[in-house]
């Protein structure tokens, strides 16, 4: 692992891909948690992004006897020595309604992949995905890897509005749109539970980098029941 100084208060940790028994996303998630605990209230942002970890600290972190670089190095050493004992990543079960009313691109993805719509749903929901990064907007999780037949480039003409909860794919990634916004991913279905709840200050996002996610199909009746439950 390599620690790069980006600015007075920012550091970038680069992780090689072959020095841990843990898959890379889970490893970065655990590293981020170790750093949050070590810096306590002295960090501004700690963001895992694929194979890197961005650490932004407050000025308070430079007031102690131990330098930030030393704290980071100590956490990384702990990760190397104890990664196998730090527990399994969280597994988040996410309900998805793959009804054609919600999955606007199901037929197109099926045609491009040479498979049926039922096979698209089966492939997407059978996989266990790793959360590689959080970004783009609050609660937006980049998850992978999507099975090969579902891999398509982003739409040439993005939609002006992706409904909140849209479950979509692009290239080797899948996501759930936490907010209604423009987007160019291919929509397979819709999730009735929120991925971003700003009123929950302790845990505003349903998932975090390093988690694992599985999607399970539900029908429209269950979708509306769950949506009403979460809205109340």
DSSP letters, 151-186, are --PPPSS-EEEEPTTEEEEETTEEEE-SS-EEE-SE
Q: Provide the residue-wise pLDDT of the chain in tens; the chain has 232 residues.
A: 788 888 888 999 888 754 344 456 777 778 888 898 899 888 888 888 777 888 999 887 777 778 888 999 999 888 877 655 556 778 999 999 999 999 999 999 999 999 999 999 999 999 999 998 888 888 999 999 999 999 999 999 999 999 999 999 999 999 999 999 999 999 999 999 999 998 887 788 999 888 899 999 999 999 999 999 998 7
Tokens 């700003």 -> residue: 198
Cα dihedral sign, 213-129-127-158: positive
How far, in Å, CA of 111 to CA of 117, rounded? 8
Find all residues with CB under 8 Å of 45, minimum gap 6, and list them. 54, 55, 56
Rounded to two decimals, what is the model's pTM?
0.79
DSSP letters, 84-129, are GGS-PPPEEEEEEE--TTT-TTHHHHHHHHTS-HHHHHHHHHH-EE
Q: Domains in the chain, start-ordered, CATH in brackets?
A: 2-85 (3.30.1360.40), 91-231 (2.40.100.10)
Burial class (CB in 10 A: 0-12, 13-18, 19+), 2: exposed
């Amino acid at each position: 692992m390599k620690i790069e100084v980006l600015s007075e208060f920012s550091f970038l940790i680069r992780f090689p891909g072959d020095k841990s028994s843990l898959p890379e996303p889970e490893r970065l998630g655990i590293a981020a948690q170790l750093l949050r605990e070590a810096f306590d209230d002295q960090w501004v942002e700690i963001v895992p992004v694929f194979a890197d970890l961005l650490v932004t600290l407050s000025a308070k972190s430079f007031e102690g006897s131990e330098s930030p670089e030393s704290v980071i190095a100590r956490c990384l050493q702990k990760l190397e020595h104890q990664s196998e004992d730090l527990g399994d990543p969280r597994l988040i079960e996410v309900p998805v309604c793959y009804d054609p009313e919600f999955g606007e691109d199901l037929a197109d993805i099926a045609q491009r992949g040479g498979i049926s719509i039922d096979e698209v749903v089966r492939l997407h929901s059978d996989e266990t995905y790793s959360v590689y990064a959080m970004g783009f907007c609050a609660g937006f999780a980049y998850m992978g890897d999507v099975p090969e037949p579902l891999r398509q480039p982003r739409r040439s003409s993005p939609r002006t509005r992706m409904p909140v909860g849209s479950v979509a794919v692009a290239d080797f990634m899948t996501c759930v749109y936490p907010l209604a916004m423009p987007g160019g991913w291919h929509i397979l279905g819709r999730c009735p539970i929120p991925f971003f709840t700003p009123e929950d200050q302790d845990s505003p996002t349903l998932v975090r980098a390093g988690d694992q996610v599985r999607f399970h199909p539900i029908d429209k009746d269950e979708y509306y029941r769950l949506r009403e439950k979460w809205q109340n």
